[in-house]
Chains A and B, each alone.
Chain A
Amino acid sequence: MTRNRPRIGLYTLAIIASVISFLPIIWLILTSIKTTAGIYAWPPQYLPAPVTFQNYIDIFTKSPELLLYVLNSLIVGLGTTIVSLSLGGMAGYALSRLGMRRAGVLMVFILAVSMFPPVSLLPSLFQTFLNLGLLNTYTGLIIAHTGLFLPFSVWMLASYFATLPKEIEEAARMDGMGFFRIFWSIVIPLSWPGFVATGLIVFIHSWNEFPLALVLMTQNAMRTAPVGISLYPGEYAFPWETISTATVIAIVPILVITAIFQKQIVGGLTAGTGK
């Protein structure tokens, strides 16, 4: 029986951690199905009474721009993911496998770049994008987001590639493949869990990114979901029901994707830690 005691402690910790991280989301979902009166009721209403889906109906009829925000987020997120994976994959492969000199130093440099707080980059980024006409374009925000998340992609993919048996690539060289061919037809097919995990994490981060999206997308029609939703509060009113409903809608895609690919995410993150 004594062997079970650490288990119980472990589960307790895990449950506490899950509750702490999920409570805001649960509260958010509960808020989105309360009436306005229920939201402002005192003492606070823990469970919605009555349950209403009016907020969802309202948001699609009264503020249809939410769908546009979600679509913008989707386009930027996918674009960032694709560019980050392509560049990060090639860079990661070169750094981890092609025997480059000083590859370790380069990797540290790449990591160091990602240590700048994004906000500190904003003024110069804004000016540059303004001059280049990249403000309020998908391309602009995709470039900015790629800049933020590429170091992570390079590191993550490089460490995934490092777990592949080297002999397979050597056999491919003996068979007559060049480096690019090996990367394309051997390394990528064998590393897809790493690509899936990296891609998902990049996508989620791009989806949630706030400061750059706020500053580089100034037109309402180009706003991403988190920015658009955050701008719902008016000068005098704070429409909690709209905000919570919109947020639920905005996190649904992420939740669904994470649920589907959670095995790959965990597998990709822990690759190489054991046989």
Chain B
Amino acid sequence: MTEVKLERIGKSYGAVEAVQEFDLTIEDGEFLVLLGPSGCGKSTTLRMIAGLESITTGDLTISGTRMNDVDPKDRGVAMVFQNYALYPHKTVFDNMAMALKLQKVPVEEIRDRVGRTAEMLGLTEYLERKPAALSGGQRQRVAIGRAIVRTPKVFLFDEPLSNLDAKLRVKMRMELQELHDSLGVTSIYVTHDQIEAMTLADRIVIMNGGVVAQVGSPREVYDSPADEFVAGFIGSPSMNFIDLRRGAGGGWSSTEGGLRFESLPFSLGDRSEIRLGIRPEHVVITPHAETGANGGSFEAEVRLAELLGADALLNLDIEGCRLTARVGGTGHSRAGDRVQATLPTPLLHAFDIPTGKALPRLVS
């Protein structure tokens, strides 16, 4: 039973607080992804768990043992680095066997364990090669193999796929997923790539400026972002944000004009301004049939149509209010077309403007 517990973990470099009050329990066998833009503290958090970075405040426990001052090698963790970090002057076999050799595991057992891992990762024929003679994908596999051989309690991945090209990244992502399914080892994975996060994670921790912005399943962070940052960070292209002002009659209209809502299904309190969010894929486009604003439907002009292949992005102008909509890639509207854009109320998000926090939806 491997449970990794971070209790109010913090890291500061002098006056700079890189990570603040990180509080999280990672369950046995869970695949947890730390996601965020660069400099958000996700790698620092991972390195604190690994023991490569000291912990300024708070407690780290793995399987109930406090690990703050334990040497990296004694924490039962193995790490896969972004740039592989293989020993260039040693063979693949020696790279994978190093930790076991240092643990004084009998030679026979080392050969057996490295052999089995190499077979699992398809590296058997490369065992005698040096890393320089391998492709990027193979090198990363060796790095993963080196972690597996140690049979750690926790796997730590620091952006392991970002050095690979797009095609290989998808393939390795799937391999990682299969690997996790078959080994079932608790894994903590750092990435800035939201697709990796969405596809791999049991739970995603989204970080921003050293603080946890939201913890949740991929579904939760996509459907119910806790704040504007998460809403904008998850999803590509990112969510449309429109500032709304309360009118004299109680209705809401966008400050740039164009959008008008009689009421919104959020507990808005006595706010006079809010920020509305809608994902491009949730904007419904229909050929121009009826006119005028009508229950979340607006007349729009297509200003720009960008074909992505399967999808197309339409840049819409609703009387001065600009929105992006994602539509099917075939037979979509062209620039200059007039269309009807519908913003379905159940798919809207609302945020408090000063704090960026999501406003709770009214239970109907």
Residues of A within 8 A of B (CB): 165, 167-168, 170-177, 186, 189-190
Contacts and interface: CB of A to CB of B under 8 A. Distances in A.
Interface residues of B, number: 22
14 contacts: A165-B83, A167-B83, A168-B85, A171-B79, A171-B86, A171-B146, A173-B51, A173-B52, A173-B72, A173-B73, A174-B79, A175-B99, A175-B146, A177-B102
Nearest to B98: A175
Contacts of B350: none
Task: Point out which of A165, A167, A186, A190 has the most chain B C-beta atoms below 10 A from its C-beta.
Answer: A167
Contact of B72 (A165, A167, A174): A174
A168 B88 CA distance: 9
Contacts of B148: none
Interface of B, secondary structure class, is loop
Task: Point out which of A167, A174, A177, A186 has the most chain B C-beta atoms below 10 A from its C-beta.
Answer: A174
B103 A170 contact: no
Interface in B287-302: none
A175 B50 CA distance: 11
A175 B102 contact: yes
Interface of B: 50-52, 72-73, 77-79, 81-89, 98-99, 102-103, 146
B160 to A, nearest CB: 12
Given A175-B73, A176-B73, A189-B89, A170 B99 contact: no
Given A176-B99, A176-B102, A171 B73 contact: no
A176 B87 contact: no
A102 B81 CA distance: 29
Contact of B50 (A168, A172, A174): A174
A175 B94 CA distance: 12
Contact of B87 (A168, A170, A173): A168
A174 B87 contact: no
Q: Which 6 residue pairs spanning A and B have beta carbons closest together?
A: A176-B73, A167-B85, A171-B85, A176-B102, A175-B99, A167-B81
A44 B29 CA distance: 89
A190 B52 contact: no
B242 to A, nearest CB: 44
